[in-house]
Structure 1
């Protein structure tokens, strides 16, 4: 089979194709990197918030008559756990310990800063709730 020579009117098609495709691929890859990094940061926030909420929930008092009483120590313990573990792109918005869905627990809300590779940087809020396990107190640990 003989090789055919390029037609002069087809000259430069490859360069034009790359000039269109390469910027589109670069934008796609930057968007993918932005999404993946944000996803990892959200998973970090959930893990750290969950640990902090469980630590704060261990400070909740459950009286013998079933009354759940929140203490200021629970909020402080949860905040300390969060601050000790959080990287620079995470911030703690608030902590509330008390009754959630009829059970003793702590709510920790974290703010995550997106990386801003392709899209503008913004903050995402993540809520985590840690419940006090039945019969588990700080002294049991």
Structure 2
């Protein structure tokens, strides 16, 4: 069974560190679930959420040029429902920079802006997660494109 970015797999936690957990995967492979990819809530200590030997469902979110596999537990499950009253109303106001592209809206639907994090720590965490995700995707696409380029 070959797997790549986007695959959802079953694995077993084989090791826990302060920055995440190592998970054994099919085909004698293993990957890392970074602490920021364990749960939708803030994770202070990995051991509060995972135990060695625990079976987990993970999603492959990146494979770097050295073959290291980046995993996410939270992306392998549905996000928790938002409490009522959170977020912005769909109808009123405009986002900074406008929300209309090329003078029209696609199909009359308006994309809702995500709620802004309340604290600096939340904003920093969100930035780091987005940055890590983009870097993983970029490294994966660079790896794939370098194979086609005929590097020697």
Normalising by the smaller structure, the TM-score range is: under 0.3
Larger radius of gyration: 1
In terms of fraction of residues, the more helix-rich structure is 1
Normalized against structure 1, the TM-score is what? 0.21
